């Protein structure tokens, strides 16, 4: 299975969806909503501070450099080779992040399964780079 992006619009939509997902999953939708909506009860200088905080938070999430676990480089390359995956540079970063998150989830689940909390174990497959 080979993944190739067909248009810049699809790449942009995928990236935008990831940013929204990351923003709301990392900080919680209710916290961001509170930060922005609660400013209507404050004086103008404090309103500007609330909006500035929300803007800085958004910019930090969208413009910040993504940090990936370099110890997993060999495993990531083996995953791509095993399932014949190729990505554009922009998609590679997104897919790698999703893959690492899924890998952590699988490892945590399997540790719990080893302790008897679950009756089944999980493993990586060709869909490991998808949400």
Q: What is the pLDDT of residue 16?
A: 63
111: which 2 tokens? 């540790």
Q: What is the pLDDT of residue 69?
A: 82
Residue appearing with tokens 């999703």:
98
In angstroms, rounded to a whole number, what is the distance separating the alpha carbons of residues 92 and 38?
38
Kindly give the confidence (pLDDT) of every residue in the chain, 131 residues in length, as a single tens digit, with 9 standing for 90 and above. Answer: 555 545 666 666 666 666 565 555 555 545 555 555 554 555 555 455 555 655 565 555 445 445 678 889 999 999 999 999 999 988 999 999 999 999 999 999 999 999 999 999 999 999 999 98
H/E element, 76: helix 73-82
Can you say how many angstroms the Cα of residue 10 is from the centroid of all Cα atoms in its chain?
17
Ordered by where they begin, the domains of the chain are 1-64 (no CATH), 68-131 (1.10.287.2250)
What pTM does this model have? 0.52
Cβ(3)–Cβ(94) below 8 Å: no
Tell me the CA distances in angstroms from 13 to 16, 23, 26, one per residue in order. Answer: 5, 15, 20
């Amino acid at each position: 299975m080979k993944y190739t992006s067909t248009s810049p619009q699809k790449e942009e939509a995928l990236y935008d969806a990831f940013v929204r997902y990351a923003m709301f999953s990392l900080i919680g939708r209710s916290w961001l909503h509170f930060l922005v909506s609660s400013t209507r009860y404050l004086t103008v200088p404090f309103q500007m501070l609330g909006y500035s905080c929300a803007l800085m938070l958004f910019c930090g999430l969208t413009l910040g450099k993504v940090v990936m676990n370099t110890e997993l480089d060999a495993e990531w390359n083996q995953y791509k080779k095993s399932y014949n995956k190729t990505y554009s540079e922009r998609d590679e970063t997104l897919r790698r992040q999703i893959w690492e998150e899924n890998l952590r989830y699988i490892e945590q689940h399997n540790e719990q399964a080893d302790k008897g909390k679950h009756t089944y174990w999980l493993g990586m497959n060709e869909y490991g780079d998808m949400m």
